Structure 1
Amino acid sequence: MVTESEQTMAELLGQRITTERKQQLLSQQQLASGICAQSMISSLEKGRYIPNAVLLAKICTKLHISMDRIMLSHYPEVNALASFNVTIKALCDQHDYAGMLTYLATDGLVNQLFTDQDLQIYYYYRAVATEQALHATQDSLRDLHLAYQYTHPTQKTLMTPTEILILASIAFLETKPTQPVATIESGWTHFKLALTAIEQQPVTQYDENLNSLYYLFALRLHQAHADSKAITTIDQGVEWITNHHSHYMLVDLFFLLAQLYTANQQSPEAQRALNQSQTLSTIFKTIPYRDLER
Structure 2
Amino acid sequence: MTVVTLGETLKQARRAKQLTQKQLAAGICSQSMLSAIEKGQYTPNAKLLMALCERLAISLDEVSLTTNFAISRAANLNQKLADLCNRHQYQELFDFLQTDAVLDSIESDSQMQAYYYYLGISEWQLEHDSQTIETDFQLALANAHPNRSSTLTRLVTISMGVIKAQLGHQRVAEELIDQAVAGIEAAKYEENLIIIFYLAGLINFELKQYPATAGWVTKGIEFATHHNSHYMLANLYYLLARASEMQARIDMADEAHRRADIFTELFHEKPYENF
Common topology (TM > 0.5): yes
From 139, 147, 157, the counterpart of 1:167? 157
1:15-63 per-residue CA deviation (whole Å, 9 max, x = no partner) reads x79xx9xxxxxxxxxxxxxxxxxxxxxxxxxxxxxx95248889xxxxx
SS for the counterpart of 1:206 is: coil
Task: Give the equivalent residue in structure 2 for 1:42.
Answer: none
1:191-211 deviation digits (Å, cap 9, x = unpaired)? 111112313xx42x2111111
Give the structure 2 partner of residue 233 of structure 1: 216
User: Aligned equivalents of 1:140 and 1:168: distance in 2?
Assistant: 13
Write the letter of the residue equivalent to 1:89.
Answer: A
For 1:194-209, what aligned pairs fall within 5 Å after superposition? 194-199=180-185, 202-203=186-187, 205-209=188-192
Contact 2:124 2:130 in 1 (8 A): yes
The separation in 2 between residues aligned to 1:253 and 1:102, in whole angstroms, is 31
Using the aligned pairs only, state the percent identity.
24
- Cα contact 2:161–2:203 (8 A) shared by 1: no
1:222-263 CA-to-partner distances (Å, cap 9, x unmatched) read 232211111111121111111111111111111111122222
Given that 2:157 and 2:176 are in contact with CA atoms closer than 8 Å, whether structure 1 keeps it comes out as yes
Matched AA of 2:160: I
- Describe the SS at the equivalent of 1:265: helix
Residue 191 (1) aligns with residue 177 (2): yes
Matches within 5 A, 1:234-273: 234-265=217-248
Give 1:68-147 correspondences, 5 Å limit.
73-78=66-71, 80-147=73-140
**Cα distance between partner residues in 1 of 2:122 and 2:138:** 15
Aligned residue pair count: 207
> Please, which runs of 5 or more residues in structure 2 have no aligned partner?
13-31, 40-55, 58-63, 250-275
Letter in 2 for 1:167: T
Q: Corresponding residue for 1:277?
A: none
Q: Which residue of 181, 201, 210 maps to 2:193?
A: 210
Report the aligned-residue RMSD: 3.2
For the structure 1 residues 106 and 11, does the alpha-carbon distance in structure 2 shift closer, same or farther, using more than 3 Å as the test?
A: closer
Provide the rounded CA distance (Å) in 2 between the counterparts of 1:213 and 1:185.
18
* Greater mean deviation of Cα atoms: 205-214 or 100-109: 100-109
CA contact (8 A) 1:81 1:113 kept: no
Aligned partner of residue 238 in structure 2, secondary structure: helix
- 1:212–1:249 CA contact under 8 A, matched in 2: yes
Distance in structure 2 (CA, Å) of the matches to 1:248 and 1:55? 21
Distance 2:150 2:230 in 1: 21
**Structural mapping, 1:1-16, within 5 Å:** 11-13=3-5
Aligned with 1:53 (options 15, 18, 34): 34
SS at match of 1:264: helix
Q: Which runs of 5+ in 1 are unaligned?
A: 1-7, 21-50, 59-65, 267-294
Kept in 1, the 8 Å contact 2:84–2:93? The answer is yes
User: Aligned partners of 2:76, 2:84: CA distance in 1, in Å?
Assistant: 12
Question: 2:266: which partner in 1?
Answer: none
Q: Is the CA contact (8 Å cut-off) linking 1:79 and 1:118 kept in structure 2?
A: yes
Preserved contact between residue 90 and residue 122 of structure 2 (Cα < 8 Å): yes
* Distance in 2 (alpha carbons) for counterparts of 1:72 and 1:114: 23
Shift of 1:127: 0.9
Aligned-partner SS, 1:247 = coil
**Relative to 1, partners in 2 of residues 1:142 and 1:197: Cα closer, same or farther, differing over 3 Å?**
farther
CA contact (8 A) 1:72 1:248 kept: no
